[in-house]
Amino acid sequence: MNAPFQNEAPGPSKTGEAETGEAKVPLAVLIAAPRGFCAGVDRAIEIVERALGRFGAPVYVRHEIVHNRFVVESLKAKGAVFVDELDQVPEGVPVVFSAHGVPKSVPAEAERREMTYLDATCPLVSKVHRQAERHLEADRHIIFIGHRGHPEAIGTYGQVPEGAMTVIETVAEVESLDFAADAPLAFLTQTTLSVDDTAQVVAALRAKYPHIVGPKAEDICYATSNRQAAVKEIAGQCELVLVIGAPNSSNSVRLVEVAERCGAKARLIQRASEIEPSWLDGVKTLGLTAGASAPEPLVLEVIERLGEWREAEVREVVTAQEQIVFKLPRQLID
């Protein structure tokens, strides 16, 4: 849950005057809520931290636990070691799988190597994996709407045998599909997509294959949907929207796209140090949000940075409340 903000930002933004003695120009800052960590990211980070407490350092993590450099570096400082593949993990130390999910071959290899492993896959991603298995059992070919090369897409693709799933990204790719009109088909989606873009792709799929089977509830996760809705609420009032997140964070990049479609200029940043004073030229109202893997201290850091140049008048705009908490793996429950 995001902490409420008062009307003024902390630190330098409250001074009201630049070093020259000139009064700072006011800047309205609308902070989107919900923003930042979702329940899946909270759970993944806690799994690494608890594993460090249970097993001691080092604990190895296959790939970035979540797509955020600040989080990764913080966990490294506590004793986490990030690797690309399991053959980089020494014998006798535990390994954690990232929140994005992994192909079935990864835990199979870990078991073959007799490794202790903890699966930090977001439960909402795991739900998509289970749906894929059910469609496979029903002899349906799966069309997966997602971004090729993203870890979540790779993990989902790896839940079924080669050739059982086709990955598409756009409406244009729907038009190029050549399945028979009566072919048994199902579709699933990555959890961090644009809600609006995905709706268009799904509509195109249903128009071309009216019998296609879809999920009972949308696969795009609650946090992705909520953060996009919150950006829509503020972006129309802003000349500029800053999104805190990593370039390889799908949900963060989608927030930039959402803001731009609402008519605001938008920039993706990882840290406050990336902000240039010139970005604020002509900006009276600035929007601020954070992707699902960006921690709240980075939001506070940005507000402080803005306060170095302008008299920031901060207001939080709340569009939803999030109370979801996911259970930890049994190995870490005392």
Helices 39-55 and 69-78 sit at what angle, rounded to 10 degrees? 20
Distance CA 203, CA 207 (A): 6
Q: Which of 17, 133, 152, 173 is catalytic?
A: 152
Burial class for 89, CB neighbours closer than 10 Å (0-12, 13-18, 19+): buried
Q: Name the CA dihedral angle for 274, 275, 277, 282, rounded to a multiple of 10 degrees.
A: 150
Cα atoms in the Cβ-side hemisphere of radius 13 Å centred on 334: 4
Question: How many CA atoms lie within 13 Å of 31's alpha carbon, on the beta-carbon side?
Answer: 24
Catalytic residue status for 152 = yes
Helix or strand run (H / E) with residue 44: helix 39-55
Query: Could you identify the residue written with the tokens 């979702």?
Result: 38
Tell how far CA 121 is from the center of its chain: 13
Closest-CA residue to 188 (of 227, 223, 144, 149): 144
Q: Residue 57's beta-bridge partner residues? A: none
Contact call for residues 96 and 128 (beta carbons, < 8 A): no
C-alpha torsion angle, residues 175, 180, 181, 186 (rounded to 10): -80
Residue with tokens 């604990």: 59
Give 109's DSSP letter.
Answer: H
Residue 59 and residue 97 in contact, taking contact as beta carbons nearer than 8 Å = no
Catalytic residues: 152
